[in-house]
Structure 1
């Protein structure tokens, strides 16, 4: 993984989290329940947290295992985007239940990314 790809991925995820956060706070505030809005915000927060981590890793790129990048990237996609899909589909009355098991897989990948980062530090 090159430094430029890591930084670009971080920038894309960061930008999208701002867009999704604003969308949730303004457009969805009127259509989602408080619980749904809170779930949506969890997806946005975790996406931004991990975008920042990718950005820091990209700017401090030295001997970074590509597995760390992939765990964070795929973890964000599976965790946050499955939450967005679950919340939005539920608000329309057609909850995409197949997304439910995908969220914890994404969360597990995020945890593995952190574990690999820890191992990489030593």
Structure 2
């Protein structure tokens, strides 16, 4: 529980900081397409940072079984792979980085499926 809440808080701090950085420091430095890519990374980062917090609260309520923690690790991996690749892609323009993004999406999906399975078992 504590781990998921801590990771969630850290991810939310980073999401807000990166969102502000993108809105202000990168505003005139990125093309419109690259700004959209960056903002997509921020949106998914925020959503899944909140998901980590939700998983931490669920673990506190229903017990921190290994499935909830596993689900949290998948969300964390998804943030790193999905959002991280979109940040890198938008900042560098290296299109090959986009090949990493779907792996992060799969991690997000796996995390939510595992969370649902955990809820069903509780």
TM-score past 0.5 threshold: yes
Of 103, 112, 118, the residue aligned with 1:120 is 118
Residue equivalent to 1:19: 17
| TM score, norm. by length of structure 2 | 0.89
Aligned length: 115
Residue equivalent to 1:51: 49
- Partner-residue secondary structure (3-state), 1:60: helix
Residue equivalent to 1:85: 88
> Whose helix proportion is higher, 1 or 2?
2
| TM score, norm. by length of structure 1 | 0.89
When the two chains are superposed, the root-mean-square deviation of aligned CA atoms in Å is: 1.2
- Partner-residue secondary structure (3-state), 1:35: helix
Q: Deviations over 1:84-116 (max 9, x none)?
A: 0011001xxxx262x221110000110111111
CA distance in 1, matches of 2:33, 2:11: 24
**What 5-or-longer segments of structure 1 have no aligned partner?**
none
**What 5-or-longer segments of structure 2 have no aligned partner?**
none
